[in-house]
Amino acid sequence: MKENISRRDFITVPAKGVSAAVIAALGASLIEPQTAQAATPETYLKVPLRFFTAKQAALIEAACERIMPADESGPGAKDAGVVIYIDRQLAGPYGHDKYRYTKPPFVQSVPEHGYQGKENPREIYQAGFAMLGDGFVSLTPEQQDAKLESIEHSMFFQMLRTHTIEGMFCDPLHGGNIGMAGWKMIGFPGPSMTWRNEIDKHYGEAFRPPPKSLVQLVGHPVKGMEDEPV
Amino acid sequence: MKTLKSVDVVIVGGGWTGLLMAKELATRTSLEILALERGPSRKPSDYIDGMDEVDYGIHNKMMQSPAVLTVTHRFSGRETAVPIRQYGSFKPGTGTGGAGEHGGGNADRYLPEFFTLRSHLLEKHGKLPEDSLVADWGFNWDDIENDLWRAEQLMGISGKAGNIRGKIIEGGNVYEGWRSHEFPTPPPKKNWAGVMFFKAATELGLKPYPQPSANISTDYTNPDGISRPGCAYCGYCSGYACMIGARPQPTNVLMPILRRHSNFKIRNGAAVRRVVHKDGRAIGVTYVDEQGEEIMQPASIVILSAWTTHNVRLLLLSKIGEPYDPATNKGLVGKNLTHQVITSAKAMIMLDEPINSFMNNSGLGFRISDYDGSFGIRPSDGILRGGCFSGGSQSAALPIGSFGRIPPGATPRNWGSKWKTESARLFDHVIGGCGFRGDHLPWRQNHMDLDPTYTDIFGDPLLRMTLDWTDHEQKQFDFAERVAMQLTESLARVSGGKLHKQGGPSRQPQLASPAPRRYNASSYNTTHIQGGAIMGSSPGASVLNPWMQHWQIPNLWMLGSCGFPENSSGNPTTTILGVTYRAADALIEKYLKHPAALA
Ligand SMILES: Cc1cc2nc3c(=O)[nH]c(=O)nc-3n(C[C@H](O)[C@H](O)[C@H](O)COP(=O)(O)OP(=O)(O)OC[C@H]3O[C@@H](n4cnc5c(N)ncnc54)[C@H](O)[C@@H]3O)c2cc1C
Ligand code: SF4
């Protein structure tokens, strides 16, 4: 497992709608459209990876996209940068199980006792790469769904599904929900200093103020727990 | 081990109870008071950055990490307990203010007979079930009412009285015990979900009233001169600290006063491991500081206010008193473990229009007491106590936690395009089945002791909880789910929404499903674990006397709901703080004058 060595692995995502604050928080650099190869008129962001290799990131990104695909209901996991969220969570204290009681003995128990396994989230993902298989990215969407269905009851898949929802709807400070794509899809406005004058004004009708991220609201950088030392 | 200079009073735990006791002592005496708090220091200005679901809602940033300390659980004495490796059915707080920094703000009073429940039930039924440990507290409603009023003023509770000195007032809780005053602040604004729930309950002939709430409705100045603004309905509420201080938190109502008193100090990062005692007197406590150094802090008076499980564990680790053994029914420490009996109608309502549920606070909505205590309960229900129903609060409205609330089976898989589309369509359009919170009575089988296998970071044994629902609670569930379904059906009619029965909102995927109606240590219930060091009027039957003083060690006092012999349908903090005021009065006015056992 590579760690803290100078990383050259990146993932690229469209820069559209990403605020300067988020770019700074992700340590991302802009790739301007190359006039020479004007295949894409868009600006891209090069986001350094913390845990995944570029290949692993592509694999997880493809799997997340099947869990939360871009479709008529709105953007998908890829557009929202879910894999960036997961990468940062796995690299941080959560990935190393710093929030869980991890003393032995590990015993199997009933669901009422929650996850009792020894493996931390990083190890569960490592096992997951093998379950998905290297060829996963080049399968058709139908084949990918069949593959995921076959591992649906694994801890890895359950975790991946949970993390996909988190990465889709987290505050952008955590790397996911890029451009607040997830929040816009469901009409969630993000944090606010007050709804006092609104709470009793919109009975039975949609009230959908445009979303604001936490950094936009408070006007200064906010670091997530994934940035804390492991 | 380093031994520090002795202080007059050492307080273990700087949360709601420890800091309230400190405030009373610091302002009313010249004693030198030191609070030892294992967690970090906190101040209200930190909290604006906390409106974040990942760090606070999922990773429980405000709570004590299970990596450091957790409990083990088993269903019965025949099994080997396993550690709760991640939260969990309850979430202990940490840091200055404790769980008081991020409570939900539901600020109920208990029913008046609750403090003499054993006598009350014996009078009503002639006898108690064989394994019942129901007990009287050693004081009654008239003794405690003024202390509850002090607690309500401290916090500025919003609500509508239903019984002022015997005068019944419609619109308030007409079933409540007499209160001396109207609430300090009026009920909060109503959200749409609350308006609909009110109508649904009224149409069934029930008497809904505004949920009494610490998340105050208007600006308020308490008797200590502390001013707080009215709630902004931001929705990042229970589990989050309030960014404007609308919710009373020890850091906004107690610390500003304590900081003005030089006889009070708080030491953070100090994890207490033992109460040191000799010949029936506490000598002080030992703790480990942030550098990992073990330190002895001598004191003339030791006060434990570390919250239920920690208070009880400290007694057990310090070998104070005999651990309870359910087989012989002997010993007192660890007995009367209770949680709260919580359930809801197994149904959901889907509305055409969104609820705008992001605007809320976790103490919002209406409560129904028509079935609280023994009101409205028939002999055929087979239960001794009921509880309260509530609706209108949408405290689980944040997107990660509530995305995917769709009828189970509505889509073939719980992932993929169909699931995503349906989840996005129904986001903010779903009301879960109406909820119930009932009294949890103490039974012989449910208790706490030290685990024989698992330890904390210092190598000390974890607390072991043996806890499961008995037949009585199963019948409470039957009863509650039946009434909750009637309410939910009424709500569906009132709202014009589509009722889907069976299976509540499906949220977190689970590898296997928990058994219905078994105590579920993996999913959140409430942080209202009680008992283990109960109070009462006889030294042979309780750990503490009715003033929260230890029967055998008079300079040891314990605060919080570890002292409560049974668990009420109402949320505990108002009563916890009321009992703390009562303890503070006894300590200051009686014990300091005659430092001996009070009773
Ligand atoms: C998410 C949540 C929602 C809640 N909602 C409500 C509600 O709506 N209504 C209601 O009435 N109540 C609610 N509560 C419960 C309420 O917060 C508690 O009743 C109240 O805080 C109890 O006060 P306490 O002093 O006993 O414990 P706390 O306030 O938790 O304080 C205990 C302190 O002791 C410290 N401590 C523990 N062990 C040690 C040790 N060994 N050494 C040093 N320090 C130690 C802890 O770090 C903590 O700061 C809620 C709690 C939570 C977690
Ligand atoms: S909903 Fe009200 S009480 Fe709760 S955190 Fe927001 S402003 Fe504070």
Residue of A68, A115, A192 with shortest CB distance to B86? A115
Give ligand 2 pocket residues (Cβ under 6 A): B 215, 231-237, 240, 242, 244, 246-247, 361
**Mean pLDDT confidence for B106-120:** 98
How many Å from the N-terminal Cα to the C-terminal Cα in chain B?
Answer: 36
Q: How many CA atoms lie within 13 A of B379 on its CB side?
A: 2
pLDDT recorded at residue B395? 57
Q: What pLDDT is stored for residue B509 in this prediction?
A: 42
Which residue type is seen at B57? G
- What is the Cα B232 distance to its own chain's centre? 23
Q: Which residues pair with B558 in a beta bridge?
A: B304
* pLDDT for B51 beyond 70: yes
B502 CB within 8 Å of a chain A CB? no
Cis peptide before B88 (omega within 30 of 0): yes
Mean pLDDT value of segment B556-574: 98
| B33: closest CA of chain A, how far (Å) | 33
Residue A117: phi, psi to the nearest 5? -70, 165
A189 → chain B, closest CA residue: B358
Q: Which residue of B has its CA nearest to A85?
A: B54
| Amino acid, res. A184 | K
B354 in reach of chain A (CB within 8 A) = yes
The arithmetic mean of pLDDT across residues B214-228, rounded, is: 98
The tokens for B441 are 């009575």
Evaluate if residue B504 carries a pLDDT over 50: no
pLDDT of residue A24: 85
The proportion of chain B whose per-residue pLDDT surpasses 70, expressed as a percent, equals 97
Query: Using CB atoms and an 8 Å cut-off, which of residues 452-481 of chain B contact chain A?
Result: 453-455
Q: What is the mean pLDDT of residues B5-34?
A: 98
Distance from Cα B301 to the centre of ligand 2, integer Å: 37
Which chain A residue is nearest to residue B420, measuring alpha carbons? A68
Mind telling me the catalytic residues of B?
A: 528
Segments of A51-163 assigned E as strands: none
pLDDT of residue B242: 96
Q: Could you tell me which of B56, B71, B127, B45 has the C-alpha nearest to residue B455? A: B71
Atom 4 (ligand 2): residue with closest C-alpha? B237
Q: Give the atom of ligand 1 at the shortest distance from the alpha carbon of B305.
A: 25
Check residue A200 and report its DSSP letter. Answer: T
Nearest chain A Cα distance for residue B159, angstroms:
18
As a whole number of angstroms, the distance between CA B304 and CA B302 comes to 7
pLDDT reported for residue B516: 75
pLDDT above 70 (res B559): yes
Is the per-residue pLDDT at B510 higher than 50?
A: no
**Look-up of token digits 């105050």:** B216
CB contact burial B392-421 (16+ within 10 A = b; e otherwise):
bbbbbbbbbbbbbbbbeeebeebbbbebbb
Distance B245 CA to ligand 1 centre (A): 17
Interface size, chain A vs chain B, as Cβ–Cβ contacts under 8 Å: 198
Tokens linked to B535: 């109070």
Whole-model pTM: value is 0.96
Please give the pLDDT value at position B326: 97
Q: Cα dist. A74→A15, A186, B281, B316, B353 in Å?
A: 18, 9, 67, 56, 19
Per-residue pLDDT, B507: 42
Region B252-265: what's the mean pLDDT?
Answer: 98
What is the average per-residue pLDDT within B1-24? Answer: 98
Of the candidates A66, A94, A101, which has its C-beta nearest B83's C-beta? A101
Compute, in angstroms, the gap from residue B508 CA to the centroid of ligand 2.
25
Q: Give the model's pLDDT for residue B46.
A: 83
**Residue A2 predicted with pLDDT over 50:** no
In angstroms, what is the span from residue B236 Cα to ligand 2's centroid?
Answer: 6
Among residues B525, B523, B87, the alpha carbon closest in space to that of B343 is found at: B525
The residues with which B9 forms a beta bridge, in sequence order, are B33, B301
pLDDT of the residue at B409: 84
Per-residue pLDDT tens for B241-255?
999 999 999 999 999
A191 closest CB neighbour out of B70, B234, B515: B234
Is the pLDDT assigned to residue A23 strictly greater than 90?
no
pLDDT averaged over chain B? 95
In eight-state DSSP terms, residue B5 is P
* Two tokens, residue B466: 């043996």
Nearest to A178 by CA among A82, A92, A63, A86: A82
pLDDT for B397? 85
Contact between B111 and B568 (Cβ < 8 Å): yes
Pick the range with the lowest mean pLDDT from B55-64, B478-487, B518-527.
B518-527
- The reported pLDDT for the residue numbered A6 is 54
CA of B63 vs chain A CAs: smallest distance (Å): 10
- Determine the average pLDDT of the residues in B391-415: 87
Q: Please report which ligand is nearest the Cα atom of B317.
A: 1
Give the model's pLDDT for residue B505.
45
Residue A39 confidence (pLDDT) above 70: no
Ligand 1 proximity of B407 Cβ (cutoff 6 Å)? no
Task: Please state the ipTM of this predicted complex.
Answer: 0.95
